Structure 1
Amino acid sequence: MGQNYKEIAAIALARRKAAIPTHYLLPSEYLQNLPRNVTTVPKDSKHFTTHELEIIEAEAADILEKIATRAWTSTEVTKAFCKASIVANQLVTEILFSEALKRAQFLDDYIEKEHKVIGPLHGLPISLKDCMVTPPHPSSIGMACYANEETSEATVLVSILAKLGAVFYVKTAVPVAMMMMETNSNIWGETTGAYHSGCSPGGSSGGEGALLAMRGSPLGVGTDIGGSIRIPSAFNGLYGLKPTFGRFPVYGTKSGITGQDFIFSNNGPMSRSIDTLKLYCQAVLSNEVSPWNLDPKCLAVPWRSGTINPPSRKLRFGIISDNDGEISAHPPIVRGLAMTKKALEKAGHEVFEWSPNNHPEMVREMNNSFYTLGGAAILGLTKEHDEPVFGSMKSYERAYEQGEHGTLGPTKLREMITARNGFQKEYLDRWNATAEDGNQIMDGIILPASPWTAPRLGVTQTDIFCVNYTGVFNLLDYPACTFPVTFTDKDVDKVRTDWKPLNKKDEALQADYDPEFYHGTPVALQCVGRRLEDEKVLDMVEIIANALRM
């Protein structure tokens, strides 16, 4: 047995505490009376100057313009976001303030001397999910074995963003091995939601999601293998893109299940603005950067514009407006779907019901692959430091203890791959079939990102853990982006009546819905496109967002 996880956690927490400037901390008297919705804290706490508030409320494009025109310096922008991130310090793992301020000063000196920016992200603070490696800082991914281990080689994406001019100032919290839909670990503790502190911020990019919602970052980078960008984005009212695998470089990212290629993990941007997502994608996937020359898995496909031709043409959406055949969405999500359908139809677009054929079966295939492939990879490491196992990860423990770890033979692997490929071909054929009878082919699918708006803390550690709505598109490898719609309203979103559950799990999940408790939590959905149509997905989300504002 190695060093106990509690001793390891104490060292990591002390390192983080030592890196925090005390004048960035909120006054203790304010901390004693925090509101349930902590997104109001920056404005209401009086902890920020008017100028600091102007900076942290600004969108990325505005920040970049002000730095480029020298109305703002990168240094003052970086200081404002460093301070804002500490107001939400439970979300942060590694603090990079010292390097960030040196970097910002370098960028300010460069623009003053050269009279031009170093790249399209010049001076922009970008927060990073903990799995993005920034040497020499550890990338713990919520595990004791990595919590204090120095790193030496940066993630390829981190190096690219640095060349584009980005400033890295914090890394954000994740759950154990990044394999839970809540953000809790034995090292960093529990992260709570931004709009409701009694709710989860989601996982595994939960620290990223909550930080963005609290104005602690203008742009964040998350990863997604079963919903880890979309679930936190939805729970925190954000736009978050899960791309097609191969569109963005992934090499050198820390993984919870190293070496598995059955379900691909992707990275993508998260923000309060769809324009910020587009800005990021255009910068990273440019010919000037050519990330495909740096990562062998990255496709040589630059970011494209004008994917909807003509731009004014009406779109055709499928919608899953209540359940996926196994799990029904909570009432506020159902209302959000109805609102979106009505707004799109009012704008002249077609919306028809899309049947979620085999969605639950595909998610079971995905989850079982994680248990089979991850039992040894994860439990073998956590047991070295006597880390307790969280409820939603008990299946990994069972796979490990039953001797399934390390015994995946070629026959079983072939069966898994065959089943996955069959699901992918069937879905492709169904999508193509929407063009029959003279119809325009379906442009995208609109559906929940989760049955919850943001589940109460701990509830997904029970038997009603559910990544149904996101996981299916990881197995299919389809791009998807979340978008905010509205907020839960206790006076409108009543408990379902005269309703028959689909099964015991569906019944238990609906029983968790309490209008009073969930009041004020974000209602967000996702839009899904076909493989490699990532640009079109963001264009469709922009059209949806505009329709909802009309």
Structure 2
Amino acid sequence: MAIQNYREVSAIAQTRRDTKIAAYHNPPEVKESSLPNNLTEYALNSIYYTPEERTIVETEADVILEKIANREWTSLTVTKAFCKASAYAQRLTNCITEVLYDEAHERAQYLDDYLAKHGKTVGPLHGLPISLKDCFIVPPYPASIGMSNWANKATDKEQVIVTILRELGAVFYVKTNTPTAMKMAETINNVWGETRNALHKQLTPGGSSGGEGSLISFKGSPLGVGTDIGGSIRIPAAQGFQYGLKPSVGRFPGYGGRVGVTGQEFLVPVSGPMSRSLKSLQIYTKALLSATPWTRDHKCVPVPWRDNVIQPPGRKLRFGVLVGNNDGSVHCHPPVERALDLTVDKLKAAGHEIIPWTPRHHDVMTRNLGAALSKLGGTAILNDIKPHGEPIFGSMKAYEAAADAEELRVTQIREMIAERDDLQQEYFEYMMTGAPDGQPVDGIIMATAPHAAPRLRGLQADQYIGYTALWNYLDFSVCTFPVLFADKAQDKARDMKSFEAFSDLDARIQADYDADFYHGAPVGLQCVGKRFEEEKVLEMVGVIEQVLKA
């Protein structure tokens, strides 16, 4: 049988999605020229939602769970509201791939009947709609990850984490868009097209969990699950004004999902929750670990949830903050610098210690990770997409070059692993002794990207993931948190005539900043802890959240 061109594949996939949405919802057509930048506010203030639906979609996961358990709301009512919201999110942002409305309604009704009959919930996530990044396997739905060869192929073996979340009470209703092979920091591919930021339509929601980020920002999901191999949870979460947790490899179950490149373990993707609420991340993590996932997934480590990790409770924390608000390779845009300065000032005012943190080998680790991704994945990815005639996106040219180069030798791979292990140990020791008094820091606070959120397709020529990628290389635990929105009055552009850039890349990224254009862009930062410190990182972000609110 002849291999279909990517355009034919795309038409079939998009028709399947659109038909399933239309069976339930028909969001209003809107003239693009009439839309403001903030699509979320536009939708909430329209007549699309009933008052009850608007209340539901604006409610965070912890309250939703409480209201369902107390029978103030039914799971079916909540599920229908988020299905309706996701349909409008798709119309305005193009964030959805697969539609599971039939199963979601059936599942929600089952959960309502169970609660009515037994007087208790099935688990801690009872009735909560949860959206999933496209790479998660929910049979029979395809998991295309933005690639033609997978876009219309049914799946048959459910992913371990999906099974566990369902048993805990989750309701799955949509899967969300990713870039090709999940290998870009913006969400665009040749099957589903480009997803845009719900909070600023001219900006990308980031990648690779960008569909999740946009849907959550739109209030089309109370909680989503993404994956991260170089920033793919944290970049969309930060650029969507959300919290997003990147755990260490093995903390959450990972077996059975679709990955861009199979068989390589130099850089292992991890899954994690994304939400507008920090408490939602804590609920998700505690619930997932309560199910002893290490009894289902051989590579999941047997570490149960730990409460009150920071001891003694309420003690002042010690945060490292990068000197000059940059990583030594690329400067941050003005609104990101303001977010960093604001966070530092608030923490200091609350009595926490801020320690100037010098980037150590950040550039080396970023370069090593980028080279490993392309060298270990170039041939595999190109072999999958070339037969369908898919064009190669600009920011993936390194994968094309790697596919044309000589195969890595065993000796080279050994050397890559040895260097990685040495750098991991060195940075661990740095965090344990890097303060002026030779004592440990609790965490590091830094940007997630140079931009608040880049322009649509703005990374095709100048993609930089140095602020997030090194933490994958080190396998540290990291969580993003929202801070502020870019403001043209406060975040003036630099004087590029006097600005001293680190490189041509840095100069181009800084020259891209326009205060008027970026006005209203969401800005988030990240808090870094050591390996397997997920609970501590969440607690530290809770402290940061409180001082920012104060």
TM over 0.5: yes
Question: For residues 200-279 of structure 1, what are the structure 2 equivalents within 5 Å?
Answer: 200-279=204-283
Aligned position for 1:113 = 117
Taking the aligned partners of 1:186 and 1:512, their CA distance within structure 2 comes to 26
Deviations 1:494-550 (A, max 9, x none): 112342111111111100000000000011100000111110000000100100111
Aligned position for 2:350 = 347
Residue 8 of structure 2 corresponds to residue 3 of structure 1: no
Aligned partner letter, 1:27: P
Deviations 1:236-272 (A, max 9, x none): 1100000011110000010001111001210000000
Maintained 8 Å contact 1:333/1:453: yes
Matching residue within 391, 394, 400 for 2:394:
391
Residue 167 of structure 2 corresponds to residue 163 of structure 1: yes
CA root-mean-square deviation: 1.2
Aligned position for 1:447 = 446
Measured after TM superposition, the shift of residue 428 of structure 1 is: 1.4
Taking the aligned partners of 1:209 and 1:21, their CA distance within structure 2 comes to 23
Matching residue within 118, 133, 138 for 1:134:
138
Maintained 8 Å contact 2:432/2:439: no
Matching residue within 353, 357, 362 for 2:360:
357
Match of 1:461, SS?
Answer: coil
Match of 1:473, SS?
Answer: helix
Aligned partner letter, 2:163: S
Range with greater deviation from structure 2 (424-433 or 73-82): 424-433
Match of 2:523, SS?
Answer: strand
Aligned partner letter, 2:313: P
Deviations 1:77-112 (A, max 9, x none): 000000000101110000000000000010011001
Measured after TM superposition, the shift of residue 29 of structure 1 is: 4.4
Taking the aligned partners of 1:434 and 1:75, their CA distance within structure 2 comes to 52
Taking the aligned partners of 1:80 and 1:36, their CA distance within structure 2 comes to 24
Aligned partner letter, 1:534: E
Maintained 8 Å contact 1:59/1:273: yes
Aligned position for 2:475 = 477
In structure 2, stretches of 5+ residues that fail to align are: none
Seen in structure 2, the aligned counterparts of structure 1 residues 506 and 29 have a Cα distance that, compared at 3 Å, is closer
Taking the aligned partners of 2:375 and 2:440, their CA distance within structure 1 comes to 37
Seen in structure 2, the aligned counterparts of structure 1 residues 340 and 29 have a Cα distance that, compared at 3 Å, is closer
Residue 284 of structure 2 corresponds to residue 280 of structure 1: yes
Match of 1:197, SS?
Answer: coil
Maintained 8 Å contact 2:478/2:528: yes
TM-score (norm. length: structure 2): 0.97
Seen in structure 2, the aligned counterparts of structure 1 residues 515 and 31 have a Cα distance that, compared at 3 Å, is closer
Match of 1:133, SS?
Answer: coil
Measured after TM superposition, the shift of residue 484 of structure 1 is: 0.6
Aligned position for 1:192 = 196
Aligned partner letter, 2:459: T
Taking the aligned partners of 1:25 and 1:489, their CA distance within structure 2 comes to 35
Aligned position for 2:333 = 330
Taking the aligned partners of 2:248 and 2:527, their CA distance within structure 1 comes to 13
Aligned partner letter, 1:127: S
Aligned position for 1:458 = 457
Match of 2:327, SS?
Answer: coil
Taking the aligned partners of 2:50 and 2:397, their CA distance within structure 1 comes to 47
Match of 2:342, SS?
Answer: helix
Aligned position for 1:59 = 60
Range with greater deviation from structure 2 (393-402 or 224-233): 393-402
Residue 541 of structure 2 corresponds to residue 541 of structure 1: yes
Maintained 8 Å contact 1:391/1:461: yes
Match of 1:285, SS?
Answer: helix
Aligned partner letter, 2:57: I
Aligned position for 1:38 = 39
Match of 2:21, SS?
Answer: coil
Maintained 8 Å contact 1:319/1:447: yes
Maintained 8 Å contact 1:202/1:235: yes
Maintained 8 Å contact 1:42/1:53: no
Aligned position for 1:47 = 48
Range with greater deviation from structure 2 (407-416 or 476-485): 407-416
Taking the aligned partners of 1:132 and 1:480, their CA distance within structure 2 comes to 21
Taking the aligned partners of 2:24 and 2:541, their CA distance within structure 1 comes to 40
Question: For residues 498-513 of structure 1, what are the structure 2 equivalents within 5 Å?
Answer: 498-513=498-513
Aligned partner letter, 2:524: A
Aligned position for 2:292 = 290
Match of 2:348, SS?
Answer: helix
Measured after TM superposition, the shift of residue 312 of structure 1 is: 1.2
Aligned position for 2:515 = 515
Identity of aligned residues (%): 52
Aligned position for 1:420 = 420
Aligned position for 1:316 = 318
Taking the aligned partners of 1:21 and 1:67, their CA distance within structure 2 comes to 27
Maintained 8 Å contact 2:355/2:435: no
Aligned partner letter, 2:344: K
Measured after TM superposition, the shift of residue 408 of structure 1 is: 2.0
Maintained 8 Å contact 1:316/1:440: no
Match of 2:245, SS?
Answer: strand
TM-score (norm. length: structure 1): 0.97
Match of 1:352, SS?
Answer: strand
Measured after TM superposition, the shift of residue 21 of structure 1 is: 3.0
Aligned partner letter, 1:345: K
Measured after TM superposition, the shift of residue 41 of structure 1 is: 2.6
Seen in structure 2, the aligned counterparts of structure 1 residues 330 and 29 have a Cα distance that, compared at 3 Å, is closer
Aligned partner letter, 1:492: Q
Measured after TM superposition, the shift of residue 196 of structure 1 is: 1.0
Taking the aligned partners of 2:313 and 2:439, their CA distance within structure 1 comes to 15
Taking the aligned partners of 1:259 and 1:6, their CA distance within structure 2 comes to 29
Deviations 1:429-480 (A, max 9, x none): 211213673x652000000000000000111000x21000000000000010
Aligned partner letter, 1:473: W
Aligned partner letter, 1:335: R
Match of 1:145, SS?
Answer: coil
Match of 1:144, SS?
Answer: coil
Aligned partner letter, 1:474: N
Taking the aligned partners of 2:213 and 2:332, their CA distance within structure 1 comes to 21
Measured after TM superposition, the shift of residue 45 of structure 1 is: 1.4
Measured after TM superposition, the shift of residue 165 of structure 1 is: 0.4
Deviations 1:308-332 (A, max 9, x none): 1111100000001421111101011
Match of 1:70, SS?
Answer: coil
Deviations 1:209-259 (A, max 9, x none): 010000000000000000000000011110000001111000001000111
Aligned partner letter, 2:110: F
Aligned position for 2:371 = 368
Aligned position for 1:487 = 485
Taking the aligned partners of 2:98 and 2:467, their CA distance within structure 1 comes to 31
Question: For residues 54-133 of structure 1, what are the structure 2 equivalents within 5 Å?
Answer: 54-89=55-90, 90-133=94-137
Aligned partner letter, 2:9: I
Match of 2:4, SS?
Answer: coil
